[in-house]
Structure 1
Amino acid sequence: MSWKWEYAFGAEEAARTAPPDFLAAVELRADELVRAAEALHVHGRAHEDVDPTGHDIIVPGGMFSYQVVVRSERVYIVQITHLGF
């Protein structure tokens, strides 16, 4: 398995109606988070500790919240907020 990111919960539904430029900014930062998590947790599947705390990231036009699940080798985007201006 290799590290990936994906939308979780209601973020997937919200992404369907968000503007493409906003989603491009979210996806660019999500790709960066995946690379960082992969470098930090080289043996992700063997991880036995608690997962890191999720955080919020501000992007042009809004923000998103994410959670890293090391044993699954995933970065989940759990909420996106587009400000609409």
Structure 2
Amino acid sequence: MSWKWEYAFGAEKAARTAPREFLAGVTRKADELVRAAEALHLDGRTHREDDPKGGDVIVPGGMFTYQVVVRSERVYVVQITYLGF
């Protein structure tokens, strides 16, 4: 298994209507989060502790909320908010 990110819950549905430029910003930041998680947790499948706390990331046009699930080697984007700024 290798680290990846994906939309979860209603974020996937919201991403269908969000502007392309905003989603490109979400993708760039989510990719950065994946690289950081992979560097911190070399073999996530053997992780036995609690998952780290997720957070909010501001991107041009809005923000998104993410959660890292180490044993699954995933960063989940659980909510996106397009504000148009």
Q: What is the rounded CA distance, in whole Å, between the counterparts of 1:84 and 1:32 in structure 2? A: 22
Q: What is the rounded CA distance, in whole Å, between the counterparts of 1:63 and 1:52 in structure 2? A: 20
Unaligned runs of 5+ in 2: none
Deviations 1:36-64 (A, max 9, x none): 00000011000000000010000000000
Q: Indicate the RMSD between aligned Cα atoms, in angstroms.
A: 0.6
Aligned length: 85
The one-letter code matched in structure 1 to 2:46 is: A
TM-score, length-normalised on structure 2? 0.98
Q: What is the rounded CA distance, in whole Å, between the counterparts of 1:83 and 1:38 in structure 2? A: 30
For 1:4, the equivalent position in structure 2 comes to 4
The offset of 1:84, in angstroms, is 2.6
1:34-73 equivalence runs, <5 A = 34-73=34-73
Unaligned runs of 5+ in 1: none
Deviations 1:24-83 (A, max 9, x none): 000000000000000000110000000000100000000000000000000000000000
Calculate percent identity across the aligned residue pairs: 78
Q: What is the rounded CA distance, in whole Å, between the counterparts of 1:63 and 1:23 in structure 2? A: 10
